[in-house]
Amino acid sequence: MLNCMVTGGCGACVVLVSTYDPKLKKVEDFSVSPCLTLLCSLNGCSITTSEGLGNTRDGFHAIHERANLCRCTGNWPIADACKTFVADVDIEDLGINSFWEKGDSKKTKVSKLPPYDPTKNFSTYPEFLKSESTTNLDSSRYPWYSPVTIVELRSLLNSKVMENDASFKLVVGNTGSVHYKETQRYNHYVDIKHVPEPSIINGDQTGIEVGATVTIAKFISFLNEESKIKFGSYGKLVSEKLAYHMEKIASPFVRNSASIGGNLVMAQKNGFPSDIATLFLGLYATVSLMTIHGLENLTLEELLSRPLLDSRTVLLSVWIPFKKDQSSLQTHSRFCLIPIELLHHLMGMHWHM
C-alpha cells in the first residue's frame, strides 16, 4: 500500500484476523486495519485478506458483491452522478452500482441484495498453528516483549533494558497512531494485552470493572449482553447509554483493536478529545494504576489533571459505579469534519435534577 492513508478511516486495507484461545479451545475472528497494526502483534494469528474471502476464480463473497465504499470519497456514487452529465454514456451504465430502484420499500431493497449467510465460517485458522499460538517471539531477535503475568510486566519495566523512558512503548492495538504519529523510533515494544489483570471485565448491580486492555468492541458487547441479566434497572440504563454512544466511536475494525485504557491514556498524555473519558467522568469513574511504587487508586478526574504519566506507569482498570440519584443521563454526539474527512463524535453530558 504505497499510498495508504494510515488513518484507519477508509477501510480499504481491512483484513480478517483469526486468533486461537487454548483455554476455551475456540477460534475468534475479528476485522482490523493493517495500516495501524504492528506486525509483531500478529504473532500466532491467521490473516484472511479480501482476496481470501472471494475472488474471480472461486466466486465473490456477498460483501464484495454488495460493495464497500471508502467513506472519505464515496467514489461510486460520485462517478454515477457524473455519468448523468455525459452525452454518450451507455444508459445501462447509469446506476450500475445500485441494487434497488427509487421508491422501493426497505423490505424490497433488502431482498434484492446478494444473499449473505452469517453462519458460514470463513476462518482460515490452520490446525498446526493452534499448538504454537502461545509461542512468544524471541526478544533477543525482535524488539518485542509479550509478558503474560503482572509480575513479569513489572520486572520488565524495572529492568535495565527499559531504563530509558524514551526507548520503549507500551502497546495494545496501536490505534493511537491515527492521531499521534510516531516522531521517534522505539528500541522496544511491550505488548500488554496478554497480562490477565488489565484484561478483566465484569460487573454486578454496584458497577462495572473493565480492564485497560479490553477493546472498545468487547466492552460494547459486554454492556449489551450483561446489562440484560446482571445490572438491575439503573445499571441497565447506564450500560445501554454507554454502549449506544461508544458505538459512535471510530469504525468497527478500529474498535476491534482500540483499547479502553489506550483511549484514556491518550486523553491524559496528549489532551485527546476522548468520548470515553467524557462518558466515564460523568459516571464518577475511578482508575487503578500500577506505578514503580505499587498500586494506586484515584478518580478519573484526578488522573486527567495530574502530570503526564511516565512510561513505567500502567493503567490497569477502570471502575464505573452505578450511583443512582435524582438525575437522568443523556448523551449527544456532534459531527465534526476534519481535513482527512473522518467522522469524529464528541458528546456532552447533561444532568437534569
**C-alpha grid cell for residue 242?**
454507554
Q: Residues 47-69: what's their mean pLDDT?
A: 81
Least confident of 61-70, 72-81, 189-198, 215-224: 72-81
Residue-wise pLDDT for 157-209, tens only, equals 988 877 776 688 999 999 998 888 777 778 889 999 999 999 999 999 999 99
Q: Residues 289-303: what's their mean pLDDT?
A: 95
Least confident of 37-51, 111-125, 136-150, 198-212: 111-125
Q: What is the pLDDT of residue 72?
A: 56
Global pTM reads 0.81
Q: Residues 93-112: what's their mean pLDDT?
A: 70
pLDDT reading at 61 higher than 60: yes
Separation of CA 38 from chain center: 14
Domain extents in the chain: 62-112, 197-352
Q: Residues 26-50: what's their mean pLDDT?
A: 92
Name the residue with higher pLDDT: 235 or 326. 235
Does residue 237 contact residue 327 with C-beta atoms inside 8 Å?
Answer: no
Tabulate helix, strand, coil % of the chain (nearest 5): 30, 25, 45
What is the Cα–Cα distance from 21 to 63, expressed in whole angstroms? Answer: 27
Mean pLDDT of the chain: 82
- Strand 15-21, strand 46-48: pairing: antiparallel
Which long-range contacts does 281-285 make (Cβ < 8 Å, 24+ apart)? Answer: 281/349, 282/329, 282/349, 282/351, 283/238, 283/242, 283/320, 283/321, 283/323, 283/329, 284/321, 284/323, 285/318, 285/319, 285/320, 285/321
Q: What is the pLDDT of residue 352?
A: 42
pLDDT reading at 248 higher than 70: yes
What is the Cα–Cα distance from 343 to 114, expressed in whole angstroms? Answer: 28
Q: Residues 142-165: what's their mean pLDDT?
A: 86
- Beta-carbon contacts of 129 under 8 Å, excluding residues fewer than 6 positions away, are 20, 44, 46
CATH architecture of the domain with range 197-352: 2-Layer Sandwich (3.30)
Q: What is the pLDDT of residue 33?
A: 92
What is the Cα–Cα distance from 185 to 173, expressed in whole angstroms? Answer: 18
Q: Residues 254-277: what's their mean pLDDT?
A: 95
Q: What is the pLDDT of residue 261?
A: 98
Name the residue with higher pLDDT: 202 or 336. 202
How many CA atoms does the CB half-sphere of 255 hold within 13 Å? 17
Least confident of 104-108, 180-184, 292-296, 321-325: 180-184
> Could you give the C-alpha distances from 325 to 152, 271, 283, in angstroms and in order?
42, 30, 11
Q: Which of 33-37, 140-144, 262-266 has the highest mean pLDDT?
A: 262-266
Name the residue with higher pLDDT: 347 or 121. 121
